[in-house]
Amino acid sequence: MQPEVVVVGSANVDLVLPVQRIPRPGETVLAGVMSRGPGGKGANQAVAAARAGARTAMVVALGADDGGALLRDALGGSGVDLSLATTSDAPTGTAIITVEESGENSIVVAPGANGELTLSADALAAIGQAKIVLSQLEIPFSTVQAAAAASTYFILNAAPAADLSDELLAEVDLLVVNETEAEVVGGPDRSALLKKVPAAIVTLGGEGAVVLTRDADEIAVPGVSVEVVDTTAAGDTFCGVLAAALAAVSANDSITGSDLTNAVRRANVAASLSVQAAGAISSVPHGDAIDARYAEVYL
């Protein structure tokens, strides 16, 4: 079936190191037992959208190695359509993640196959027909630009933080950034983002998020208070569930500020569930868990 959400993005093998605290520059710290699992911003977001109930496909480049096999199993097992995935001569991307006892993390990524990702004719056709296209910045900017230009409604999660061209921003329908990324894109006044894109969501960690649109005042959506275990995939869970919620809006209707606010509430709930479990894809909640927590918080 035609996917509702197409994620164009990265997939990595995550090497996770639990530490008492993240090391400072020039410092060595000892870690606990290392774990290895599937992750990457694009893969996490695709799994989140699929588990939230959206028909989801992923445009991704994987290596012909055991890491690629691991990611194919994880994505396919979560219901993500991989018919648009390609195999690269480069190794599968790898991320080294240190997670301290508070749940905060620090991540270094070796892109590998992610840096080889381009869009085939089939990928461009799927992107053009999808309700929502979601991308991030762990893949070549030229690929992000091509996906944005081909899409009907394009969400850019501008992470990792980077300077973005006016050409790319002109194709963005919804920008999702944290506070640091918002300042890189628009400066210290987050309302300045609306000079570059028609709508933006700024995530605030445990404090929730704010919704910015050109035709309404800023709307604050409070976070959901929980005990934090690991924040690794929280932002990606937020983005994937946000995309799934917006894809549920009728294709005949434009996405309104109210639609965005309701989608952010659901995304906040999902992110609050993800931080209560360790790992990346392993921490992404399923739709029934999101529904139950949403009912507790909002109904």
Question: Is 123 among the annotated ligand-binding positions?
Answer: no
Question: Is 203 among the annotated ligand-binding positions?
Answer: yes
Question: Is 254 among the annotated ligand-binding positions?
Answer: no
Residue with tokens 């500020």: 257
CA distances (Å), origin 55, targets 52, 101, 287: 9, 36, 13
Catalytically annotated residue among 73, 166, 236, 288 = 236
Question: Is 279 among the annotated ligand-binding positions?
Answer: yes
**Phi-psi map region of 253: left, alpha, beta (phi>0 left; psi -120 to 50 alpha):** beta
Question: Is 13 among the annotated ligand-binding positions?
Answer: yes
Question: Is 232 among the annotated ligand-binding positions?
Answer: yes
Counting Cα atoms < 13 Å in the Cβ hemisphere of 188 gives: 0
Question: Is 206 among the annotated ligand-binding positions?
Answer: yes
Question: Is 151 among the annotated ligand-binding positions?
Answer: no
Query: Is residue 236 flagged as an active site residue?
Result: yes
Give yes or no for a contact between 162 and 137, defined as CB atoms under 8 angstroms apart: yes
Nearest partner of 136 among 101, 102, 107, judged by Cα: 107
Question: Is 268 among the annotated ligand-binding positions?
Answer: yes
Whole-angstrom Cα distance, residue 88 to residue 82? Answer: 14
Question: Is 40 among the annotated ligand-binding positions?
Answer: yes
DSSP letter, residue 197:
S
Question: Is 262 among the annotated ligand-binding positions?
Answer: no
Question: Is 277 among the annotated ligand-binding positions?
Answer: yes
Tokens (6 digits) for 156: 């850019």
Alpha helices in the chain (DSSP H): 41-51, 66-77, 121-129, 141-150, 166-169, 179-186, 234-247, 257-274, 287-298
Question: Is 79 among the annotated ligand-binding positions?
Answer: no
Question: Is 30 among the annotated ligand-binding positions?
Answer: no
Q: Quote the strand ranges of 20-166, DSSP E.
A: 35-39, 56-59, 61-63, 86-88, 93-100, 105-110, 132-135, 154-157
Question: Is 178 among the annotated ligand-binding positions?
Answer: yes
DSSP letter, residue 204:
-
Q: Is the link from the previous residue into 3 a cis peptide, with omega within 30 of 0?
A: no
Give yes or no for a contact between 218 and 266, defined as CB atoms under 8 angstroms apart: no
Catalytic residues: 236
Return binding residues for K(+). Answer: 230, 232, 274, 277, 279, 283
Q: Which amino acids are annotated as binding site for ATP, given as ranges?
A: 178, 203-208, 235-236, 268
Q: Which residues are annotated as a binding site?
A: 12-14, 40-44, 138, 178, 203-208, 230, 232, 235-236, 268, 274, 277, 279, 283
Residue stretches of the annotated binding site for substrate: 12-14, 40-44, 138, 236
